[in-house]
Amino acid sequence: MKSRTGRTRLADILIAVVVLGSLWGLTEVVLDSAIRAAGLPFRAGILTGIGIGLLAIAMGAFRRPALLVLIPPVAILCKQLVVPILNVSVMCKANSCVAVMLEGLAVTGVVCLIGRRLDRNRVIQAVSGASGALLAAGAFYFAGMRLAPCQYLLSFNSPVGFVRFMLVEGVVWAAFSAVLFPVGYWVGAQLRDTILAQERKPWLYYAASATIVVGSWAASAVAIAAGL
């Protein structure tokens, strides 16, 4: 059993990474469209908070910051289903994909610096989520302006545009992330024992993971095809 655990541990973690990345991609496609259609405010903040909350689940479950950088690429690939389905350029979702990647990198950097102090301290967890979101927002402002700026982002293109963007968007991203990072970390901690104990019923873990991944990608593909 020990030898099998040693061999499958990495595989089990990578499966969890794909699951979380797929869920993140699903929210970026489906929830993004739903928020737009409903005309609700704070769309970017909500999506950022959910994405960072999903990263927190991985951190709470595995306590390995380096794994966090593997989750955003999965979400980005899910978002890029728009390319084969609608036959558009990869640049169509360039800025939002960059935002997802920057969020992952920023949170990874923050939790690496904080280390073990993150565990069981809700205040530090909230600060970590907020800090990661602020860093991602700041980096996104400069990257987005040069990559594929939309009309909204260009409205901040002024001598004081960066400050206004951080006050209007960065603070909102940080607020949602400060709330959802501790929630995600708690969820991950609760799932930790379940994931470690899956040796007894590995088929259940793999079946549930496959269902979530396939369901997330299928729902995203349907939403994209429907023009949502």
What pLDDT shows up at residue 90? 86
Quote the tokens at residue 110. 């923050």
Nearest to 78 by CA among 218, 208, 227, 225: 218
pTM of the model: 0.91
> For position 201, what pLDDT does the model report?
66
> What is the residue-wise DSSP string for 83-108?
HHHHT--GGGGHHHHHHHHHHHHHHH
At residue 12, the pLDDT reads: 82
What pLDDT is stored for residue 52 in this prediction?
98
Measured at the alpha carbon of residue 17, what is the angle toward residues 201 and 227, in degrees to the nearest 5?
115
Which burial class, exposed, middle or buried, applies to 179 when counting CB atoms under 10 A from its CB (0-12, 13-18, 19+)?
middle
Query: What amino acid occupies position 194?
Result: T
Of the chain, the end-to-end C-alpha distance in Å amounts to 47
Per-residue pLDDT of the chain (228 residues; tens, 9 = 90+): 333 444 447 888 899 999 999 999 999 999 999 999 899 999 999 999 999 999 999 999 988 898 999 999 999 999 999 999 999 988 888 999 999 999 999 999 999 999 888 887 899 999 999 999 999 999 999 999 999 888 899 999 999 999 999 999 999 999 999 999 999 999 999 888 776 666 666 778 889 999 999 999 999 999 999 887
Q: What is the pLDDT of residue 8?
A: 45
